[in-house]
Chains A and B, each alone.
Chain A
Amino acid sequence: MSATSHATTLGTNWVGQPLPRKEDGPLLTGRDRFLDDIGLLGMAHVAILRSPYAHARILRVDASAAAALPSVLAVLTGEEVVRVSRPQRGRIPLPVSPQVYALAHDKVVYVGQPVAAVAAIDRATAEDALDLIEVEYEPLPAVVTPEGAMAPDAPILFEEVGSNILWHDTFPYGDVDGAFERADRVVRERVTIHRYLSTPLETFGSIAQFDASTQTMTIWGSAHQPGQEINNVAAALGLSPGQVRMIVPPMGGGFGNKTRPIYHILIALLARKLAGRPVKWVEDRRESLLALCHAADGIMEMEAAIQDDGTILGLKFRNIENEGAGIDFAGRHNLLMLSNIVNCYRVPAVSYEGYSVVTNCCPVIANRGIGKPFMCLAVERMVDAVARETGLDRVEVRQRNFIQPDQFPYDTPSGQTYDSGDYPEMLRKALALLDYDQLLVDQEAARAAGRLVGIGIACGVEPAGSNLSYGMLISGPSQLLSGQGEAARVRMEPDGSATVYTGGIESGQGHSTALSQIVADELGLRPDQIRIVATFDSHSHPYTQTSGNYSNKFNGHDTAAAIGAAGKVREKLLARAARMLEVAAEDLELAAGRITVRGAPDRSLPIAQVAARAYWSLNDEAPDDEPGLEALHYYRNPRTRAPDAQRRLPVQMGFSAAAHVALVEIDPETFEIEVRRYGVVHDCGREINPMIVEGQVHGATVHGIAAALLEEFVYDDDGQLLTTSFMDYLKPSSADVPMIETDHLETLSPWTPLGTKGIGEGGAIVAPAAIASAVEDALKPLGITVSGLPITPTRLWRLASQGGKRYPI
């Protein structure tokens, strides 16, 4: 923390400025190198044969005809994968954990599950060869809804588990029974969310090359958490993590989706089979929509114990989460919802019952805000229901239940400590941003003219950083993984510029620019003198098991690691300068590329001169000095711990928040929905780069709007996915969304080095709730309430034409 105080006392020059990004140049000119832009001599190209059935026994696989093609280099089937690799288990050790291999061998459990893989001289030829692989299946009954999967006669996906319920538990916090006894009334709601995905424009991919002499596997691959991927691959192949080199080229978007170790394992197995020859697989869009991952669908039943004045005394939740056929992320949506379940509200008593259920759908992984969009939707729908039932204004109900500014840091029932915020002011500001009072006047006039105009209001917390100990809520202390941290190495070069390596991964969020602003302030340099080596390489970049780009962890963890490493470099630099200037290091100031004796501006040295000596002039070293100006820092969040006896656990390490106000209009005949205006006031603490912050708000918000109105993975009863192209899985275009109007509120986090909080996920967390609220408000003349997403014209029309009052039917 000493480095931080230096930066603060010197006045942070670069942090806070809306600098255009240093990442942009190669991206704008087409000179960047994404994964699929990498070509290696002799590279083989992979195509994957995928299951056409949602649930079937594999009776026979015959790949001999494919293997016999001269242009085919290798074929892999499930039988061989079982022989030559070890199975994957879920990241959270489940009570009974199914074993999953990179290819299906005895049965398939979702459409699109990999069954065989072909490596050939090019991709088209590899796809040709897939036609020659014969697979005999015995189809089994499939189940696609979580409630269906919980039925007593449901087909069982994983026989070893004995049921489709992977996990079920109840977490009571506070005096829940007492709250319900004291309540004036109880409000009940049932809210559903569907499957969708943020779908980075660059699909997932993997390139592997095996050096048989050293038994080293090099993987260029999509990854959010390189430490985890390295260990997954090493474990599956029976290698040491040190024998797996992972390189993560710039990613064309990620949003949490690019976390599928089985594909790295599969490509690595082919690479080992083709010892020496590089092997490449890049997912095509159909594969991606079909089988990369989805965000979980879920069913939330809620009860709120309230007073007649709208005060919420207690909440009960029962959530059923559809994990699809996946075990890798099983339980995570539930646990992350649980951790944030009071949202922005002062609710002293909460119980949460969660089910994690497997079905014959695509496995779920993380998607921007994992679990929290559903948390926010459910809680905000409940708050609107409370307003409805009490006849109170929905703004008033929120203001009454908000955690108040003077209550921070605020401890929630499940063990979170909210660091900072001013939710009442945040909502006031958001309403002012769109001139709410005028909107109400306009709305009244529009309604009088028969138009359906609605104003949506939603607030949500946006957590930042995850204490990965949360799996212990399922596994108990047997889980090895815990805490949250990041690693960084900073090297001041002999010319006085600096180079930064971190375990974080860039996928478009501008981390390189933000880090260069931070490190520039620490070292008295300009951001253009800071080089961020953005392509992660485990042979050059420091990392831990918790490293990577996920959970909004950049703001408090990646920054702290970089500041820590830069601070160490700074100390070395000043120590050396102190000797050269013959003063104490404490008397030196570092700014604008120079080291100056405080109060004596004529006594100074250029940083570059000191840096050069650190590398060139080793005779100058004091006996205890190391040559050079390089430092490594492993940052560990000091506030993480294991669950306590009441199973309270600080899962999320910081809390941004946002208030969204949406204006929608619905065509009263066609029920087409237009988002006419959209305003966001967000509080992410200090903004490192306001331009980047605003861009994150825009993008995340549009993800949330689209999830509410357009995007939906649709399965038929047999488990066939009907939305396997961008013709049917509807992403929003520029013509489908409005300008996102933004404003900022700043409450500094006391726990991050710069007072920052998370920013990448909030828009996606709150927008679905705001849209649901807006549509419900628009439909008020028809008396229709909204309890589920997505909201589509065809379903809305059907409901209205039948005189229904609750969406969805």
Chain B
Amino acid sequence: MSELTTISVTVNGEPREGRVEPRRSLADFLRQDMGLTGTHVGCEHGVCGACTVLVNGRSVRSCLLFAVQVNQQDVLTVEGLSPDGVTLHPLQQAFHEHHALQCGFCTPGMLLTSLELLRDNPAPTEAEVRLGLAGNLCMCTGYVNIVRAVLAAADGHAASASTAAGSETAESPPGALPRFPTGKEIA
């Protein structure tokens, strides 16, 4: 084992610290050091997308990032979408209502990819959803209901967009991300 490095990371809005080997992936850091096991590891070579999290508001493969690389950065995991573990984010609700998950192993990555997708394109077509999710493999659903759920969540967002406008503040921690963060947050 090589030397440990101390890192500070904002995880789901909370400042956290950890001591890691440089070779510790962000996925393993989140799972094993932070206890956030909702981020799943499916291939460890950047293809399956199960480990997708948002770093500074953008989707990344957490198996292809070393934890030391996110020092001083901002990470959102699936746990951050529902901080109490009970209240569902509208996307989670849409997945539930449309039976968009079976074994559920891909679901955290799907949710975070969908979150970014809808933030950047609030009213996507089916083709755009299919392309946008193409980096996340699901072995159970054949994608049909996932695509339906994301489209439904987009519809729901469009309906509530006017009421949500103006209620967001720049200080909002990622754990309390506005339902669909605006595009400027990643600029």
Q: Which residues of A contact B44 (CB under 8 A)?
A: 284-285
Q: Report if B8 contacts A (CB, 8 A).
A: no
| Max count, chain A CB within 10 A of own CB: residue among B40, B41, B95, B103 | B103
* Residues on the B chain within 8 Å of A198, using CB: 139
- A20 part of interface (Cβ distance < 8 Å): yes
Q: Which of A95-103, A271-279, A506-514, A774-782 contacts B (4 or more CB under 8 A)?
A: A506-514
Chain B: CB-nearest residue to A702: B142
CB of B107 within 8 Å of the partner chain: yes
A574–B171 CA distance with the chains assembled, in angstroms = 60
Whether a CB of chain A sits under 8 angstroms from the CB of B54 is no
Question: In the complex, what residues of B have CB within 8 A of residue A284's CB?
Answer: 44
Give which listed residue, B97, B105, B146, contacts A201 with CB less than 8 A: B105
A23 adjacent to chain B (CB < 8 Å): yes
| Complex Cα spacing A703 to B102, Å | 14
* Bound-state Cα–Cα, A701 to B136, Å: 18
* Interchain CB contact under 8 A, A201 and B99: no
Complexed CA–CA distance, A33 and B92 (Å): 18
A1-39 contact mask (Cβ, 8 Å, vs B): 1 or 0: 000000000000000000011011111111111101101
A30 and B39 in contact (CB under 8 A), knowing A37-B31, A202-B105? yes
Quick one: CB contact mask for A247-261 with B, threshold 8 Å, 1 for yes?
000111111000000
Count residues on chain B whose CB falls below 8 Å from chain A CBs.
59
Interface of B is mostly: loop
How far apart are B145's CB and chain A's nearest CB, in angstroms? 6
Q: In the assembled complex, which residues on chain A have CB atoms less than 8 Å from the CB atom of B103?
A: 27, 200-202, 250-254, 507-508
Q: Please tell me which one of the listed residues A30, A507, A694, A702 contacts residue B38 in the complex, with CB atoms under 8 A apart.
A: A30
Which of A138-146, A438-446, A480-488, A727-735 participates in binding chain B? A727-735
Q: How far is the CA of A508 from the CA of B107 in the complex (A)?
A: 12
Q: Give every chain A residue within 8 A of B40 (Cβ-Cβ).
A: 34, 36, 201-202, 252
Question: Is A725's CB under 8 angstroms from B134's CB?
Answer: no
Q: Which of B121-158 contact A (CB under 8 A)?
A: 126, 129-131, 133-147
Q: What's the least CB distance linking B178 to chain A, in Å?
A: 19
User: Does A740 reach chain B (CB closer than 8 Å)?
Assistant: yes
A541 to B115, CA, bound (A): 39
B120 at the interface (CB under 8 A from A): no
Complex Cα spacing A284 to B129, Å: 29
Partner of A253, one of B38, B96, B140: B140
Interface size range of chain A in the complex:
35 or more
Q: Which residues of B contact A200 (CB under 8 A)?
A: 103, 105, 139
Contacts A28-B111, A285-B44, A698-B144 given; does A692 touch B99 at CB 8 Å: yes
In the complex, whether B47 has a CB less than 8 A from a CB of chain A is yes
Tell me if A202 and B137 are in contact (CB < 8 A).
no
Least CB distance from A309 to B in Å reads 38
A-chain residues with CB within 8 Å of residue B50 when the two chains form the complex:
201
Name the interface residues of A657-711: CB closer than 8 Å to any CB of B: 691-692, 694-695, 698-703
A744 shortest CB reach to chain B, Å: 15
Contact A727 to B96, CB < 8 A, known contacts A30-B78, A253-B139, A698-B142: no
A28 and B140: CB pair below 8 A? no
Least Cβ–Cβ distance between A460 and chain B, in angstroms: 17
Chain B 35-59 residues near chain A, CB threshold 8 A: 36-45, 47-48, 50
Given A29-B38, A735-B130, does the pair A201, B139 have CB atoms closer than 8 Å?
Answer: yes
Within 8 A of B (CB), among A293-323: none
Instruction: Decide: A24 and B130 in contact? CB cutoff 8 A.
Output: no
**At the interface, yes or no: A65 with Cβ under 8 Å from chain B?**
no
A71 interface residue (CB < 8 Å to B)? yes
> Closest 3 interchain pairs by CB?
A30-B38, A27-B104, A508-B103
| 18 A-B pairs in the complex with CB atoms less than 8 angstroms apart | A24-B96, A24-B104, A29-B86, A30-B108, A31-B85, A32-B104, A201-B138, A250-B104, A253-B102, A510-B102, A695-B102, A702-B143, A731-B48, A734-B129, A734-B136, A735-B131, A735-B133, A739-B126
Chain A residues with CB under 8 Å of chain B are 20-21, 23-34, 36-37, 39, 71, 122, 124-125, 198-203, 250-255, 284-285, 507-510, 691-692, 694-695, 698-703, 725-727, 731, 733-737, 739-740, 763
B residues adjacent to A (C-beta < 8 A) = 1, 21, 23, 31-32, 36-45, 47-48, 50, 77-79, 81-82, 85-86, 88, 92, 95-97, 99, 101-108, 111, 126, 129-131, 133-147
